[in-house]
């Protein structure tokens, strides 16, 4: 069904969730027989085809979340500062 197309899941969450986007509808091309197709609405822009840069952005947000990136420079990750050795 065209309105169910374009679902993209990254790390168990939809692309809409990662991008704080919403789902809309538009009339599809003749290939779909004029049925309603799913669109992605990000800010004031509506996309009938999801651009690769939005997929990449969502993937990077997911990667940052999985690493616990919170703007702390990686503190708490167990990484040693440069010049330190773990055996000392």
Q: Tell me the per-residue pLDDT of 22-51, one tens digit each, with 9 for 90 and over.
A: 998 887 665 666 677 888 899 999 988 889
- Residue 5 Cα distances to 16, 22, 40, 68, angstroms: 13, 14, 11, 31
pLDDT of the residue at 26:
82
Q: Name the pTM for this structure.
A: 0.63
What tokens does 78 get?
């167990």
* Residue found by looking up tokens 């990662």 in the block: 18
DSSP element (H, E) containing 65? helix 52-66
- Using DSSP's 3-state secondary structure scheme, residue 24 falls into strand
pLDDT of residue 32: 62
């Amino acid at each position: 069904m065209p309105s169910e197309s374009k679902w993209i899941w990254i790390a168990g969450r939809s692309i809409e969730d990662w991008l704080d986007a919403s789902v809309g509808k538009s009339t599809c091309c003749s290939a779909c027989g004029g049925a309603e197709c799913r669109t992605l609405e990000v800010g004031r822009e509506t996309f009938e085809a999801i651009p690769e840069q939005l997929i990449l952005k969502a993937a990077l947000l997911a990667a940052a979340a999985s690493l616990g990136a919170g703007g702390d420079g990686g503190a708490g990750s167990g990484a040693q500062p440069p010049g330190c050795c773990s055996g000392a």
